[in-house]
Chain A
Amino acid sequence: DIQMTQSPSSVSASVGDRVTITCRASQGISSWLAWYQQKPGKAPELLIYAASNLQTGVPSRFSGSGSGTDFTLTISSLQPEDFATYYCQQANSFPLAFGGGTKVEIK
């Protein structure tokens, strides 16, 4: 099974900051990686698919990069509505697996 390791587990940041979250797969997954945002009490929402493709309707301040084992989600200028938990998910093989999540908190 493929393990996904996300870092950091939490980050404190201010509005306007650039935030970078990394996700590492235990083996190569090509570009089969997605990123989700989850707010408390709500279902996750897709941000990025295939490692770097922005889902329709997602603000352009979100971007994804990487392939193989190392991936990055970047929020270029943090907005108040971006304070949430972010998860990566590999889709290369079953079982599908998520990273442990990164909570983005207000500094």
Chain B
Amino acid sequence: EVQLVESGGGLVKPGRSLRLSCTASGFTFGDYDMNWFRQAPGKGLEWVGVIRGKAYGETTEYAASVKGRFIISRDDSKSIAYLQMNSLKTEDTAVYYCTREAVGAQLDWGQGTLVTVSS
């Protein structure tokens, strides 16, 4: 059974940093692209970024709203994807989800972790 478990969320002040983790199990982690999405309270879904699998050089892409502030990385030996969030803004407040992607679709989602950016 595929499982994705996000952790690391919490309350943080504007301008500070936070690192989220996505621990995966039930599949060969290195074979898949891993995405991060977010959903602000009461709002729709927003793509944050992706890290491709080893076969594609573990390259990354980011949404314009987070480019230069957020960094996605992965540790295939531990089956973990990370989202390093720097220079956080109040508008980054959201539930953050990681996903496993294939054929252009998000096959599996984690339960999400809430990040609240507030002074």
Are chains A and B native binding partners rather than an unrelated pairing?
yes
Tell me whether chain B's interface is mostly helix, strand or loop, or mixed.
Answer: strand
Q: Is B44 within 8 A of A43, CB to CB?
A: no
B94 to chain A, nearest CB (A): 13
Query: Number of contacting residues on B, CB 8 A?
Result: 20
Q: Which residues of B contact A89 (CB under 8 A)?
A: 45, 105-106
Q: Is B47 within 8 A of A96, CB to CB?
A: yes
Q: Which residue of B lies closest to A91 (CB)?
A: B104
A99 CA to B97 CA, complexed, in Å: 17
Q: Is A98 within 8 A of B104, CB to CB?
A: no
Q: Which residues of A contact B109 (CB under 8 A)?
A: 43-45
A residues contacting B by CB (< 8 A) are: 32, 34, 36, 38, 43-46, 49-50, 53, 55, 87, 89, 91-92, 94-101
B residues contacting A by CB (< 8 A) are: 35, 44-47, 50, 61, 63-64, 97, 103-112
